[in-house]
Amino acid sequence: MTRGTLKAELLRLSLLVGLCFLCLQGAFLLRIALMTVVDPASTTFERSEARRIVAETGRLAWRQDWVDYAQISPWLKRAVIASEDAGFVEHRGVDWEALEGAWQKNQRAQERAERVNQRQPRRPAVPKVVGGSTISQQLAKNLLLSGERTVPRKAQELVLTLMLEALLSKQRILEIYLNHVEWGEGVFGAQAAARHYHRIDASRLGPEQAARLAVMLPAPKRFEKMPGSPYVAGRTATIVARMGDSQLP
């Protein structure tokens, strides 16, 4: 193969890869556009969890019921915003200051873990990673992407976040998020969480009940097993105190 032929093949391959990338983005754009009028039945993360639960238990223990935005307690909306994304109404999908702060915290955690590992190599420490993702970013990831932590996946998440913000209202983004976010093993969405933990509908959640649910979001499977822990109680009180400042879309 001559040099000229090789260049031509590389050019064709590059064009093909570029075309596939554009087609993929177009498919994502169409799916998000449909969400303006169609409630998504499931997310990529939910389907992955369903397969895992069936593989581990042989049955699908699943709780999820869609409820419209108006049927979700305003206290839960305020609590989730206060806990997960205080600037939800103002930002355009990405909170760059929060991302920078999370990166700095993760760098310090990595450095501490390395120092510990130098002293005790037989019991390696794992750095605690924190995130700075907004509600829009979390929705983009759970709706359409895998859970892997790679640079291409993170870049795609940012693209999808911008699509969500461009095509959907803040209210619609929050509505979809609250109906699909995980609240425990096989528990997804505000209605299922309210029924599972408080035996009431999502519309009837009070301030403290809503705050307790919001506390669970970073690690729902872990907090599901320790609902009465001092951390949950303290964090609940903090969120209750902040809820009044949360702006709703």
pLDDT greater than 80 at residue 118? no
Distance (Å, rounded) from C-alpha 102 to C-alpha 94?
13
User: Each residue of 191-241: pLDDT tens digit?
Assistant: 999 999 999 999 999 999 999 999 999 888 888 888 778 888 899 999 999
Report whether CATH 1.10.260.40 matches the domain 23-95+132-245.
Answer: no
User: Each residue of 158-199: pLDDT tens digit?
Assistant: 899 999 999 999 999 999 999 999 999 999 999 999 999 999
CB 144 within 8 A of CB 160: yes
Domain coordinates of the chain in residue numbers?
23-95+132-245
CB 190 within 8 A of CB 76: yes
User: What is the structure's pLDDT at 128?
Assistant: 46
- Please give the helix or strand (H or E) that residue 168 lies within, else none: none
